[in-house]
Structure 1
Amino acid sequence: MLKVENIDVYYGNIQALKGVSLEINQGEIVTLIGANGAGKSTLLKTISGLLKPKNGEILFERKSIKGKAAQTIVKQGISHVPEGRRIFANMTVTENLELGAFLRKDKAGIRQDLERVYQLFPRLYERKKQSAGTLSGGEQQMLAMGRALMAKPRLLLLDEPSMGLAPLLVKTIFRIIEEISQTGTTILLVEQNANMALSIADRAYVIETGRVVLSGTPDELNTSDQVKSAYLGGH
């Protein structure tokens, strides 16, 4: 479904991604693990059109999306839940969700998807008239994910969904990610909590200083000493 081939991305003179390649098949949950500053968020921003690669190619459903405008990429079926959530604090929960569907014209479908988001996140339904800025961190994360789903993506990019959340809420968010996957949405997940990410992923890539250094199934990575000592808290 998505093929990233040998991309180089720069911030000014600093090279953030060095020849990164990966692929995601339809229906998979693929996770990227790596330390802070390794290039994980940069890769998501490049796929979603917020950054432009200097070299390489990005193919979505066999068509090039490299260098296309972010809104064009959303229209083609990719939604990005950014790190830090970026919700619209002064708007209500419902208004935030409706904004996620701004490129859509199918009113009945939008209503249906709003119901689906409220089923996935009952807490958002309870707070639908509240302004988003009054929500807790976990609720804001749910809102950011719900808003992205309102664009009806075929591929969902999730950047650090568990960051700053209490352990119990992290479990809830990961359960919901699995539910979203079961409804047919393909997911690329960037996550500091490598244990949790590997527990739900089909495959994983490890990024270090802008390069993919390892890839494989969660079982393969769980048995790698390199991964264990660096990311899984083992020795």
Structure 2
Amino acid sequence: MASEANTTAKTMLQVKDINVYYGAIHALKGISLDVRQGEIVTLIGANGAGKSTTLRTISGLLTPKTGSISFEGNAIQGKKAHLIVKDGISQVPEGRRIFADMTVEENLSLGAYTRTDTDGIREDYDMVYARFPRLAERKSQVAGTLSGGEQQMLAMGRALMSRPRLLLLDEPSMGLAPLLIKEIFSIIVDINKAGTTVLLVEQNANMALSIADRAYVLETGRITLTGEAKELAASDEVRKAYLGG
């Protein structure tokens, strides 16, 4: 978890009153949130609450009908997704979305497609392999033959290859065994400690709140609660709705 000093850190991402539609369906209804430099911020909520839609809108895969999104002071709403990656935001999508017929190393190389600094890219292969030793052992293996946990590590490694300052993670624990979930969350904390700010969407609210600084609760396209993660984890309302208590 990032330090309490982050309360004075500068706002890195600001989402202001965005409305997003899928055809006639009003998916996000005036959502506002911010992420400060160095934080882990989590969005929790039931399936269909709008968590993934929020991430997809920030990363440029969806365009808000109204509202604004700024990153490091610059407007990014409506910008093409590959340019947002270049700006310093990278997303690990729900369901991993690795390229199953390509090797581990080829998948990682695609994460660096916006970059031309050959030496830096080589350094980042080393960084990813040091962080995920299992990927190093399997660098020539076809990615579709990896286990679910290894595929999640590959999706995270691929996102890190673009050197993001803000990492968006969409349901990293989905479909993983409890031991692997612990490992993935421990890696998320390490990535954050190494200097990458994290915005995490996660159905496993217990785990998400245990590593986050702050949290937002989404219900049917609206933010209904926000606060320090530890306060929300202790809230009766949140416990009953999301923490099985």
Q: Shorter-chain TM-score category?
A: over 0.9
2:169 to 158, 178, 182: 158
> For 1:70-219, what aligned pairs fall within 5 Å after superposition?
70-219=81-230
The reply to whether residue 23 of structure 1 matches residue 34 of structure 2 is: yes
Residue in structure 1 matching 2:235, options 212, 221, 224: 224
Q: Secondary structure at the match of 1:3?
A: strand
Report how far residue 110 of structure 1 moved: 0.4
Tell me how far apart the structure 2 counterparts of residues 145 and 97 of structure 1 sit (CA, whole Å): 9
Shift of residue 226 of structure 1? 1.2
SS of equivalent to 1:148: helix
- Give yes or no for the alignment of 1:33 onto 2:44: yes
Q: Percent identity?
A: 72
SS at match of 2:47: coil
Displacement of 1:48 in angstroms is 0.2
8 Å contact from structure 2 (residues 14, 33) kept in 1:
yes
Answer whether contact 2:209 2:215 (CA < 8 A) is retained. Answer: yes
Report the TM-score, using the length of structure 2 for normalisation: 0.95
Report if aligned partners of 2:210, 2:230 keep a CA contact under 8 Å in 1: no
Moved over 6 A (4+): none
* 2:22 corresponds to which of 11, 36, 47: 11
Q: Deviations over 1:59-94 (max 9, x none)?
A: 000100010000010000000110000000110000
**Distance across 1 between alignment mates of 2:30 and 2:173:** 28
Q: 1:177-226 CA distances to partner (integer Å, 9 max, x unpaired)?
A: 00000110000000010000011000000000000000001221022211
Distance 2:162 2:199 in 1: 16
Size of the alignment, in residue pairs?
A: 234
Q: Distance in 2 between matches of 1:228 and 1:112?
A: 43
Establish whether residue 66 from structure 1 lines up as the match of residue 77 from structure 2: yes
Distance 2:73 2:160 in 1: 22
CA–CA separation in structure 1 for the residues paired with 2:24 and 2:206: 34
Aligned twin of 2:8? none
Whole-angstrom CA distance in 1 between matches of 2:81 and 2:234: 38
Q: Which amino acid aligns with 2:237?
A: Q
Q: Which runs of 5+ in 2 are unaligned?
A: 1-11
SS of match in other structure, 1:207: strand
Could you tell me which runs of 5 or more consecutive residues in structure 1 were left unpaired when the two chains were aligned: none
Q: CA deviation at 1:105?
A: 0.5
Q: For 2:145 and 2:234, how far apart are their aligned partners in 1?
A: 43
**Aligned partners of 1:223 and 1:129: how far apart in 2?**
46
AA in 1 matched with 2:72 = E
TM-score, normalised to structure 1, is 0.99
Report the aligned-residue RMSD. Answer: 0.5
CA distance in 1, matches of 2:134, 2:222: 39
